[in-house]
Amino acid sequence: MLTLCSDLFLTDSFLIKGNVENKYTRLSKLMDEHRKYFLKIRDATLIDLNSCQQIKTPLLHMNVDEVLAAHEFLDEAGDGTRRDLAQKQDLNRVRVFFTGNLNIEIAGEIRSQAYEISDKATRRFFVMRTPKLRGFKDHGDGDLKKLAGLEYLILNKERLSYIYDFN
């Protein structure tokens, strides 16, 4: 049986794919505004980043603070949000670093100072366009390889260790 997956999450230990329960807006906005500790994910598959072993469960409660990066495969928010994303914005090139169990670097483009607490547009999560991952081993796994070709990633400000802002 084929299950449609709309959401993707990268943590220190797992790549998690599934469908956020009761999603009412874009994933980036939902995560930024989420007030509970745990996000419910339906039809979840957890892929261990070291062994590539997969765990499938009908419902997963994921601690939002564990998320390093996320991506929404299916746009369920409508054309208005898509229009907002497509607007020409001044973007800065940056490289961000996560340290810990998963030592990765992601280079891409963001709004100026989107990673700062003083950013008025976001609270905890912001969007990076054209991300390029380094320091990440996909071990030949098809699901892990998908991380390399995404148009954007939603990044957790609180999990960033270092930022190199080219501007």
Tens-place pLDDT, residues 62-102:
999 999 999 998 654 444 445 555 566 789 999 999 988 88
35/32 Cα distance (integer angstroms): 9
Sheet holding 54-63, edge to edge: 54-63, 38-48, 14-20, 7-10, 69-72, 152-156, 125-134, 104-111, 91-98, 162-165
Q: Report the predicted TM-score, pTM, of the whole model to 2 decimal places.
A: 0.87
β-partners of residue 97 are 105, 162
Q: Is 96 helix (H, G, I), strand (E, B) or coil?
A: strand
**Virtual CA dihedral for 29, 125, 133, 61, nearest 10 degrees?**
-80
18/125 Cα distance (integer angstroms): 19
Per-residue pLDDT of the chain (167 residues; tens, 9 = 90+): 445 678 999 999 999 999 999 888 888 888 888 788 999 999 999 999 989 999 999 999 999 999 999 999 865 444 444 555 556 678 999 999 998 888 899 999 999 999 998 998 888 999 999 999 998 788 888 888 888 889 999 999 999 999 999 98
> Cα 49–106–11 angle (5° rounding)?
30
21/135 Cα distance (integer angstroms): 31
Q: Which domains does the chain have, with CATH numbers?
A: 7-72 (2.30.30), 88-165 (2.30.30.100)
In DSSP notation, 18-73 reads: EEETT--S-HHHHHHH--SSEEEEEEEEEEETTT--EEEEEEEEEEGGG-SEEEES
